[in-house]
Amino acid sequence: MATFVFLYFAAVIVMAASLVVLVRNPIYSALSLLVMFFHVAGLYVTLHAEFLAAIQIIVYAGAILVLYLFVVMLLNVKREEQFNRQGPVALFLGVVLLTEAVLLTVSRGFTVGAPEPGREGAAVGNTESIGEVLYSTYLFPFEIASLILLVAMIGAVILSKKGIMESK
Amino acid sequence: MSVPVEFYMVLSGLVFIIGLVGVLVRKNLIIILLSIELMLNATNINFVAFSSHFGNLSGQVFVFFALTVAAAEVAVGLAIIIALYRHHASINVDDFRLLKW
């Protein structure tokens, strides 16, 4: 049953991801990315990461994708030919990486370590335990993340505001 | 818990490669940014799968940080796209072949 659910989510994720790359209209691309985000969130729920599933929907689908859609509508790009001349190179690189990944996963020499005994079924993924880890072990990276967001905000304002650099 | 972690690795690898091919193949700058989102999501799937597999919460915390970086990247990237569109009236990457230094 769990495998069945996983296969459904995986199939939809892969199809939506391919549509993002293949579809001609950027709006349809963004919408199929939305479908993919929702199914990734579903995958997180099956992995008992409910907090991340909520965050995935709120931040990715709610904030980031809306930003994309705003820009797509704002720029009003006319449809152009979609692929450039690097197609063969990209295809070659993709095939090489894919075979490498499959070989690494399937080959005998590579095995994922067994889960530590007794911790496999532990209450992983609830918001409380994530908060405890985040504010104790990872407190300093958490502060750095807030700094990154501040820098990104200032950078976005400076880049997109007209004439803020030329006036001085 | 019965789904083996290798399945998640294969899924994540597939999505990552789709994103990589998208970055290399497409001309539209917005689609290139969307493909980068695909790659970030692929790594996130891997993080959460291994976090659940090992019963260790650090993977989920790293997904949290990857999400922060993705949000920052989107804000700055879209600002750059708008600035470029203002200058060239286009977001086709082939139009930006010349970099000033």
Domain boundaries, chain B: 5-94
Contacts of A127 (CB under 8 A, 6+ apart): A50, A51
- What rounded mean pLDDT belongs to chain A? 82
CA B42 – CA B33 distance, rounded (Å): 14
CATH 1.20.120.1200 fits A1-78, yes or no: yes
Is A142's pLDDT higher than 60? yes
User: When comparing pLDDT for B27 and B16, which is higher?
Assistant: B16
Q: What is the pLDDT of residue A83?
A: 66
Give the pLDDT confidence of B63-85 residue by residue, as tens digits. Answer: 999 999 999 999 999 998 888 88
pLDDT range class, residue B39, cuts 50, 70, 90: very high
The interface predicted TM-score of the complex, written ipTM, equals 0.90
Beta carbons of A134 and B79 less than 8 Å apart:
no
CA angle A30, A146, B50 (to 5 degrees): 65
CA B50 to chain centre: 19
Contacts of B37 (CB under 8 A, 6+ apart): A33, A60, A64, B19, B70, B74
Residues in chain B with CB shorter than 8 Å from the CB of A47 are 48-49, 51-52
Tokens of A128: 């409380």
A168 vs chain B: nearest CA distance in angstroms? Answer: 18
Residues in chain A with CB shorter than 8 Å from the CB of B45 are 40, 43
Is A166's pLDDT higher than 80? no
Give the pLDDT confidence of A27-68 residue by residue, as tens digits. Answer: 899 999 999 999 999 999 998 888 899 999 999 888 999 999
Report the length, in residues, of chain A: 168
pLDDT range class, residue A74, cuts 50, 70, 90: confident
Question: Distance between terminal CA atoms of chain A?
Answer: 64
B33 vs chain A: nearest CA distance in angstroms? Answer: 9
Beta carbons of A149 and B72 less than 8 Å apart:
yes
A-B Cβ pairs (cutoff 8 Å, strict) = 238
User: When comparing pLDDT for A58 and A115, which is higher?
Assistant: A58
Q: Are A12 and B17 in contact (CB under 8 A)?
A: no
User: Nearest CA to B71 among A71, A149, A34, A44?
Assistant: A149
Mean pLDDT of A111-124: 56
Is A85's pLDDT higher than 80? no
With left for phi above 0 and alpha for psi between -120 and 50, is residue A81 left, alpha or beta? beta
Beta carbons of A68 and B34 less than 8 Å apart:
yes
User: Nearest CA to B61 among A151, A108, A130?
Assistant: A130
pLDDT range class, residue A109, cuts 50, 70, 90: low
Residues in chain B with CB shorter than 8 Å from the CB of A20 are 18, 22, 31, 34-35, 38
CA A83 – CA A104 distance, rounded (Å): 31
Q: What is the pLDDT of residue A84?
A: 65
- Residue in the structure block whose two tokens are 């996983």: A6
Mean pLDDT of A11-35: 91
Q: What is the pLDDT of residue A35?
A: 94
**Nearest Cβ partner of B52 from A40, A105, A124?**
A124
Beta carbons of B71 and A77 less than 8 Å apart:
no
CATH class of B5-94: mainly alpha
Q: Are B35 and A20 in contact (CB under 8 A)?
A: yes
Beta carbons of B28 and A26 less than 8 Å apart:
yes
Most confident of A8-17, A90-99, A128-137: A8-17
Which of A10-24, A140-154, B86-100 comes out lowest in average pLDDT? Answer: B86-100
User: When comparing pLDDT for A121 and A28, which is higher?
Assistant: A28
Q: Are B21 and A94 in contact (CB under 8 A)?
A: yes
Residues in chain A with CB shorter than 8 Å from the CB of B74 are 64, 67-68
Reduce the DSSP state of residue B28 to 3 states and report it: strand
Reduce the DSSP state of residue A109 to 3 states and report it: coil
- What rounded mean pLDDT belongs to chain B? 87
Beta carbons of A105 and B71 less than 8 Å apart:
no
**Nearest Cβ partner of B24 from A89, A119, A149?**
A89
Residue of A nearest to B42 (CA): A40
Pick among A4, A12, A20 to test the B interface (most B CBs inside 10 A)? A20
B80 vs chain A: nearest CA distance in angstroms? Answer: 6
CA A29 to chain centre: 14
Q: Are B38 and A65 in contact (CB under 8 A)?
A: no
Contacts of B19 (CB under 8 A, 6+ apart): A17, A21, B35, B36, B37, B38, B39, B42
Is A99's pLDDT higher than 80? yes
